[in-house]
């Protein structure tokens, strides 16, 4: 079913470290909130089910596959709410461990992307395997979407919207307040240069790496904040319009002057 408008909602979970059941219960509570009603896409933070885990033994214990009960719960919620769900999780794929993004829609269609740029000044790059391909373009309700994860957003070539292939970029993240200025302005830059909506779905709360509150944003193709924040839950939602993005691209057709290039995946 195509639609000229979408409601996108971010659930900025205060992730309970390594507690899969508790995090799933929290999602179930949040999707029942009035702010989530009539959402078409619901975006969860990076590593929504576990938080970031630095120790290999703990990763082995808590990482799960795409066939796990955790992902089955997301599939069930998608069917129950009629909304597509996106986010990332700690994935065990044949005993290799990835930070894997997903897009699961109510019709049962599923798309995955493994984080390519692992954060080299943290243990992430030592304990996880980086993905070696860009996110495929996802068509949902007549809109084209792509996914990147957190640190990926620092690399504009990786995020480049070649020939305006996508309209929406989903960015699940665990981005701490200490680097708030960079996070917000990188999201704005990706929105402006790609002439697309950018959804920065950050977690909330605290962990060993910092505080994450109030860092979830939705930016329009001009780089301006759109949507509303529910003050009682922190849920961020926006109604986005096809006419708006078409108008931006028509008024400023930068695609006509864009460079052609090929990404060298290392």
What is d(CA 92, CA 62) in angstroms, rounded to the nearest whole number?
A: 9
Q: How many CB atoms lie within 10 A of CB 249?
A: 16
Annotated catalytic residue within 7, 46, 91, 196: 46
Marked catalytic residue, from 91, 150, 196, 226 = 150
- How far apart CA 62 and CA 156 sit, in angstroms, is 32
The conformational region for residue 51 under phi > 0 = left, psi -120 to 50 = alpha, else beta, is left
Catalytic residue among 7, 91, 115, 196: 115
Residue 115 is a catalytic residue: yes
Joined tokens for residue 229: 């924040």
Task: Taking the CA atoms of 58, 127, 94 and 21 in sequence, report the sign of the dihedral they define.
Answer: positive
CA distance 58 to 83: 32
With b for 16 or more beta-carbon neighbours within 10 A and e for fewer, the 5-22 pattern comes to ebbbbbbbbbbbebebee
Catalytic residues: 46, 115, 150
């Amino acid at each position: 079913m195509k639609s000229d408008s979408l409601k996108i909602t971010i659930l900025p979970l205060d992730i309970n470290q390594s507690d899969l059941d508790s995090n799933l219960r929290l999602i179930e509570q949040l999707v029942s909130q009035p702010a989530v009603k009539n959402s078409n896409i619901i975006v969860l933070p990076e590593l929504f089910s576990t938080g970031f885990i630095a120790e290999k033994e703990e990763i082995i214990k808590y990482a799960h596959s795409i066939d796990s009960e955790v992902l089955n719960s997301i599939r069930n919620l998608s069917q129950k709410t009629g909304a597509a769900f996106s986010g990332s999780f700690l994935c065990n794929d044949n005993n290799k461990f990835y930070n894997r993004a997903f897009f699961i829609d109510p019709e049962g269609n599923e798309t995955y992307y493994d984080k390519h740029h692992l954060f080299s000044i943290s243990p992430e790059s030592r304990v996880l395997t980086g993905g070696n391909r860009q996110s495929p373009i996802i068509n949902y309700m007549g809109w084209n979407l792509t996914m990147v994860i957190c640190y990926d957003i620092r690399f504009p070539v990786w995020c480049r919207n070649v020939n305006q292939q996508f309209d929406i970029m989903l960015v699940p993240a665990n981005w701490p307040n200490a680097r708030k200025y960079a996070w917000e302005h990188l999201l704005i830059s990706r929105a402006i240069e790609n002439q697309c909506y950018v959804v920065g779905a950050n977690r909330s709360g605290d962990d060993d790496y910092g505080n994450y509150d109030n860092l979830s944003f939705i930016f329009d193709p001009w780089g301006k904040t759109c949507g509303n924040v529910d003050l009682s839950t922190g849920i961020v939602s926006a109604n986005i319009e096809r006419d708006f993005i078409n108008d931006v691209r028509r008024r400023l057709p930068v695609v006509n002057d864009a460079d052609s290039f090929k990404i060298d995946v290392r």
